Amino acid sequence: MTAALELVDVRKTYPGSPPVESVRGVDLAVHSGEMVAVVGPSGSGKSTLLNLAAGLDRPTSGSVRIAGEPLEKLSERRLAGLRAHRLGVVFQQFFLLDHADARDNVAAGLLYRGIPARQRRAAAEHALEQVGLGHRMRHRARLLSGGERQRVAIARALIGRPAVLFADEPTGNLDSATGDAILELLCELNRGGATIVVITHDTHVASAARRRVTLRDGRVAP
């Protein structure tokens, strides 16, 4: 069975004196329907690994594959298209348009697909209902709570039905009760079939995943 996400001997080295090797020969396979937590202390390479796996950066060597397609062989244009169609990323900082309402923020996730505005809005409404925020869809993002803003970000990442949803410290900016609610939402989405990779240093968040991968000094720990 082809993995939804596969990393094969992936390395990332940043130039300098001396060069810094942030990711050192990582092998990882995530299959469709899995929820995997990638954990490790600060400086372990988690953020670099996320950027490589989500196609936001290119590896120095090795291969990153989404549904069997190697990202490192794609042109910038094709890579951008793959990110828009096959990958969803939820960042700790939300990255919402404060002046726009929740529906328009989520609909923006389909801007690069050539879908008419009416269909984008309808899809956004469905995605917001899916994350329990249908009643707030016409509220501007700046008026939403932290937990609501994170739900909007999750809905935006889900709207394109990505092959893999990445969540980078999804509860990091939230209080414990709100964070637990977001964590339960991710688990619910996973039970519904979503493939999810959570990047976290929080053992409580990691415990909700079916599988845990520990990074240490840029390598997968045994």
pLDDT digits (tens, 9 = 90+) for 121-166: 999 999 999 999 999 999 999 999 999 999 999 999 999 889 999 9
**Dihedral, 69, 27, 89, 84 alpha carbons, nearest 10:** -10
Classify domain 5-220 at the CATH topology level. Answer: Rossmann fold (3.40.50)
pLDDT (0 to 100) of residue 112: 79
Please give the pLDDT value at position 137.
95
Three-state SS letters, the chain: CCCCEEEEEEEEEECCCCCEEEEEEEEEEECCCCEEEEECCCCCCHHHHHHHHCCCCCCCEEEEEECCEEHHHCCHHHHHHHHHHHEEEECCCCCCCCCCEHHHHHHHHHHHHCCCHHHHHHHHHHHHHHCCCHHHCCCEHHHCCHHHHHHHHHHHHHCCCCCEEEEECCCCCCCHHHHHHHHHHHHHHHHCCCCEEEEECCHHHHCCCCEEEEEECCEECC
* pLDDT for residue 2 is more than 80: no
Model confidence over 47-93: pLDDT tens digits? 999 999 999 999 999 999 998 999 988 999 999 888 888 899 998 88
pLDDT surpassing 70 at residue 1: no
**Per-residue confidence at 114, pLDDT binned at 50, 70, 90?**
confident
Q: List pLDDT tens digits, range 178-213.
A: 999 999 999 999 999 999 999 999 999 999 999 999
From CA 32, how far away is CA 185, in angstroms rounded?
A: 18
Question: Residue 113: is its pLDDT beyond 90?
Answer: no
